Amino acid sequence: MKKKLTIAAVVVGMAVTGATGVYAGSNLQQIKAALNYGIGIEVNGQAYTAKDANGKTMAPITYNGTTYLPVRAIGEALNTPIAYDAAASKVKIGSAGASSSSSSTSSVPPSTASSSSNVQRPQHIPADFPIPADAKVFDVIESSKDGVKSVVFSYLTKQSLDQLGNSYKQYFVSKGATKQSEEIRSDAFTIIDSGSTFSVTATGQPGTGDRQGYNEVNIIWQGQ
């Protein structure tokens, strides 16, 4: 049976205390959610157990059909700095003050581009990493630590999913992928590859909502 709990707020693994029914701030809302012990986490093909600062195992939270993961633990797994600015009540993802560590989002489907020069590529992705010429890149998170670069981003494209999947498969092989888990279909693809100098997860599926008519691709890349 799932353990029920009442959440005033979840703030990057930091404790928020107070009497029942009393919340410090007008932006907090009481909700009912569930600790979902039935969901496992994989990072670049490897099983991962999220833990808090005290080493206690943390379970994903399910609320209104959406699953939430602890941002600090996931950031550490992806080698991405996570910080909480108490004064500004803000969670910071990536290196503070660095443009390459900024996060940007877009939910508007892109217009078709005719040249790759129109693509806003993440800075830490390899220069030859395949991104379609019509891609609209969004939700970019980048960081670099001890010579290892990490990039998480998504993009929308009109290019077919099987073509994209096979393109990534060939590219990762050319980069020296030695551990490969790949499933490529006309309606979706999932690729989890790694080599001596990189690890990558690439998934693709049809866009939904205002992204219908486009395919959405999500990339997690870590490498030297």
Helices and strands, number each (H, E), in the chain: 2, 14
222/147 Cα distance (integer angstroms): 11
pLDDT of residue 92: 79
CA proximity to 176, closest of 201, 202, 199, 148: 199
pLDDT of residue 47: 86
pLDDT profile of the chain (224 residues), mean per 10: 36 34 50 84 83 79 83 79 70 59 37 47 91 91 86 93 96 92 94 92 91 93 87
pLDDT of residue 72: 78
Residue 138: how many other CB atoms lie within 10 Å: 18
pLDDT of residue 214: 95
208/8 Cα distance (integer angstroms): 31
103/141 Cα distance (integer angstroms): 5
